[in-house]
Structure 1
Amino acid sequence: MSAARAIAAYQALQKYLAVNDGSGLYHERYPVVAGDNAYSYEWPFSQAHAATLDLTGLPGEQGDAYLPDLARRSVGQERYWKASGGTTGVPGYASYPEPPYGSGGDFFYDDNEWVGLLDIQQYLMRGDRAVLARAEQIFQLVVSGWDSDPSHADPGGVFWTQATWSQDRNTVSDMPGAELGLRLHQITGQQTYLTWARRMYDWTNRYLLSPDGLYWDHVNLTGTVETTIWSYNQGVPVGVNVLLYEITGDQEYLDRARRIAAAAHAHFVTGGRLLGQPPYFNSIYFKNLLLLEAVTGGRTYREAMAEYADTVWERYRDPGTGLFRFDTGGQTETLQQAAMVQIYAVLGWDPDDHRLLY
């Protein structure tokens, strides 16, 4: 059933949100209204890219059928690549397509990390050396975003963006960077990836881990912490600890992963807060919990994910279009639709393959 739902949700994504002008890009939302950009920002596109990759993980010929679409997503992804680099001079993905499709945009480190992680997943699934090389380039960009000014409050951490209007350092710019570095270390054996991953991990634990065992969102340069608890900011640290356990064999990392997962489950699932989280945060949250259960066994988090998926299908899906509508504005975002494709797709995987997720 999950695979069939993933395919149906993907068909709706392609029908209503893909742009049919040869660019390989997406609209930000449907229906398009006056004043909307011609194309989506990079973050929504990357999640449509990840959704297509996750579909290729469906068993057998069912997954293989999406390989041509995955190749098309790779072409579209490069519309955002800025080889000349951003403010640090390191290449990366801009927040909006580069010319001739758009005027580009600021670099966001988390946006780039999600692409790096899906590149790693594709490498692990398909052995594609080209995407591995791109993931390594992205990691160099992330390292260039490290705050090296010791005069700042809570010194260190990867900035969220290169845009001048924010100087926040976030859980979401550090923990996914750590996860990317750990995956690269596992694949290449290079020590520098592990060293940087530990640095990002340690900084986030020092400054953004709450006494309740959950992670706050970000800290600014004056030391003021934004204490919002988002689901994806709990999921990624679970994955990071699982990878550290696999690399080091230190049981404490696996115990930490379990503690964070249990605290997050109590907060979001038992506490009834999960539906209040954006689906694109929940897709990342649940994927990392599946990674944990692929190592430890058990079905608690998979069952919570399946229950969430059922609820969304029954409550938020428009059966006429196949689109998910999570608010009263009457529009569906590419980001939302792509997230649900990911959730249904990975629920349709062989559970042993969840070790490949981020």
Structure 2
Amino acid sequence: MSHVEHSPKTPPPTTSRLTRRTFAAGLVGAAAAVPLGAAPAHAAGPTPSTTRWARRAATSYAALRTYFAADHGLYREQYPVGPDDRPYSYEWPFSQAHVAALDLSGMAGVGARYRDALSDHRRAQQLYWKQAGSTGLPGFASYVTPPHGDGGDFFYDDNEWVALADLQHNAMYRDRGSVAQARQLFDLVVSGWDTDESHAAPGGVFWTQAPWSSDRNTVSNMPGAQIGLRLHQLTGRPSDLEWSLRMYRWTNQYLQRPDGLYHDHLDLLGTVEKTIWSYNQGVPVSVNALLSAITGERHYLDEAVRIADAAADFYGQAEGNRTRLDAQPPFFNSIYFKNLLRLESITGGQRHRRAMEEYAERTWDTRRDPRTGLFSFGEDAEVAGRTQMIEQAAMVQILAVLGWSPDRHRLLY
């Protein structure tokens, strides 16, 4: 089950042997989140390359605002608006517009222009906040809450993307409130752990609290591990590392292929859904890099490189007149690429950035309507001339991050 279907809404391991020794000072420095209260990371000035991408990001963001903006700082789900569309987008698409504003604010030379827009998105994000879900903890509902909407179920991955945006916001702007919210959301994710030992492949974080699904997904576990590791770097709390390792090991045991790539999910009978989505490959790359920085164990970094290379090889294969990567939703590819850029901020190299630039160039040329600035994906979208808001937001993210100075890619979630 993937987010393609998502918008309509259909004892912890010990860490006694883990140390925080540094096997390479540069690795830990590059992979670690910036401590609270530290001075902002130095950013190099714009270059001709970053300026070009930043201009494209600005144009694409202007189209996002022109065609999708609604009242209260929210967005509509798609353009043109359908007869049965709700007034506002679901939370998962909104969160990606929020992240787009965050990424715009990091662009070399021009990011400061988007600080007010980022603040507006952070305020509007709270319109999805719900005081308690089925586990009794607060989080973000799948739709805006009263008085603007009727709320909805909690999806753990929806909440994880917001928590990771919070942690990126803190890394960029030193904001304790963002860390506090990420803590609340991590507690929510932990509460979604499957504790029924009678289930096939017992354990794992469920995808959603909605009663119609009991799947446990790569995307509900690996981002959870990523949040816990970032929080552990900031606070040193042992339980964050323990829970992250628990999520990491469960996902590797039940959903990772021998070549390093990850299946999507499994159900309570142990049946595995084997689709290889791009975002499910990107997040484990950062999880392994973070584990290497925290534990000082090189094999985690080697595993991050192995997964990234396997994914690049897999998605680089041709399918008809396009690559497998082009067949992936752009909102999965934005997450995928940003995690690979973060790895290259540690290991060096340009393979993944070059692939990201090639994808962005190809998509700009073939999927964008120059009259509107809107991107459309899929054969049906081309026929109907319809763009999903989350698709536009994802392309803003990709273009904006290409407009960052590469020395700041370590701040990406």
Q: TM-score, normalised by structure 1?
A: 0.98
Indicate the residue corresponding to 1:221 in structure 2: 268
Q: Which whole-Å CA distance do the structure 1 matches of 2:316 and 2:101 have between them? A: 27
The counterpart of 2:141, out of the listed 81, 94, 102, is 94
How far apart are residue 352 of structure 1 and its match? 1.2
Q: Which whole-Å CA distance do the structure 2 matches of 1:17 and 1:67 have between them? A: 20
The aligned runs of 1:238-253 (5 Å cut-off) are 238-253=285-300
- After superposition, the C-alpha distances for 1:302-356 in whole angstroms (9 at most, x for unaligned) are 0000000000000000000000011323111111000000000111111111001
Indicate the residue corresponding to 1:308 in structure 2: 359
- After superposition, the C-alpha distances for 1:119-175 in whole angstroms (9 at most, x for unaligned) are 000000000111110000000000000001111000000000000000000000000
* Residue identity in the other structure for 2:87: A
The counterpart of 1:68, out of the listed 116, 122, 133, is 116
Q: Which whole-Å CA distance do the structure 2 matches of 1:25 and 1:232 have between them? A: 25
How far apart are residue 212 of structure 1 and its match? 2.6
Indicate the residue corresponding to 1:81 in structure 2: 129
The aligned runs of 1:46-57 (5 Å cut-off) are 46-57=95-106
Q: Which whole-Å CA distance do the structure 2 matches of 1:210 and 1:244 have between them? A: 20
Indicate the residue corresponding to 1:261 in structure 2: 308
* Residue identity in the other structure for 2:353: R
Q: Which whole-Å CA distance do the structure 1 matches of 2:395 and 2:303 have between them? A: 28
Indicate the residue corresponding to 1:12 in structure 2: 63
- After superposition, the C-alpha distances for 1:218-265 in whole angstroms (9 at most, x for unaligned) are 000000000010000000000100111111111100100010001000
The counterpart of 2:171, out of the listed 105, 109, 124, is 124
Task: Provide the aligned length of Structure 1 versus Structure 2.
Answer: 354
Secondary structure of the equivalent of 1:39?
Answer: coil
The aligned runs of 1:279-290 (5 Å cut-off) are 279-290=330-341
Indicate the residue corresponding to 1:103 in structure 2: 150
Q: Which whole-Å CA distance do the structure 2 matches of 1:218 and 1:92 have between them? A: 23
* Residue identity in the other structure for 1:205: N
* Residue identity in the other structure for 1:173: S
The counterpart of 1:339, out of the listed 382, 385, 394, is 394
Indicate the residue corresponding to 1:349 in structure 2: 404
After superposing the two structures, state which structure 1 stretch, 137-146 or 184-193, moved more: 184-193
Q: Which whole-Å CA distance do the structure 2 matches of 1:198 and 1:254 have between them? A: 15
Q: Which whole-Å CA distance do the structure 2 matches of 1:120 and 1:212 have between them? A: 30
How far apart are residue 211 of structure 1 and its match? 2.2
Moved over 4 A (4+): none
Matched, 1:24 2:79: no
Indicate the residue corresponding to 1:168 in structure 2: 215
Task: Give the number of the structure with larger relative contact order, counting CA–CA contacts within 8 Å between residues 6 or more apart.
Answer: 2
Q: Which whole-Å CA distance do the structure 2 matches of 1:250 and 1:345 have between them? A: 33
Secondary structure of the equivalent of 2:219?
Answer: helix
How far apart are residue 270 of structure 1 and its match? 3.9
Let me know the Cα RMSD of the aligned residues.
0.7
Runs of at least 5 residues in structure 1 that lack an aligned partner in the other structure: none
Runs of at least 5 residues in structure 2 that lack an aligned partner in the other structure: 1-51
Matched, 1:115 2:170: no
